[in-house]
Amino acid sequence: MTNQSLNTAEPALMTPEDVADFLRVRRNTVYRMLKCGELPSICIGGRRALRVRRADLTAYLERCALPSFIAPAVAAQPEPAQD
């Protein structure tokens, strides 16, 4: 591991509490997402310390953004007139 990767401002791994704060949801919501596999996690150590990779959280947000925000707006647009 390089010294540069250790000095990044954003950690590569986040606790469920960090994820809840970032998403502005309750911690229990994050644990439900982890339990059902909606959001991937890794287990560190023998005490079942769960961590979420920042890249997995970003991918989750990208998957969720399209259907909930873009698709309804696109579906509401009228179809172009055919000449």
Are 27 and 20 in contact by the 8 Å Cβ rule? The answer is yes
Beta strands 49-53; 42-44: pairing state: antiparallel
Say whether pLDDT at 57 is over 60: yes
pLDDT digits (tens, 9 = 90+) for 13-39: 999 999 999 999 999 999 999 999 999
Determine the Cα–Cα distance for residues 26 and 17; give it in Å rounded to an integer: 8
Amino acid symbol at 1 = M
Q: Where are the domains of the chain?
A: 10-63
Q: Count the residues in the chain.
A: 83
- Domain 10-63: assigned CATH number: 1.10.1660
Say whether pLDDT at 7 is over 90: no
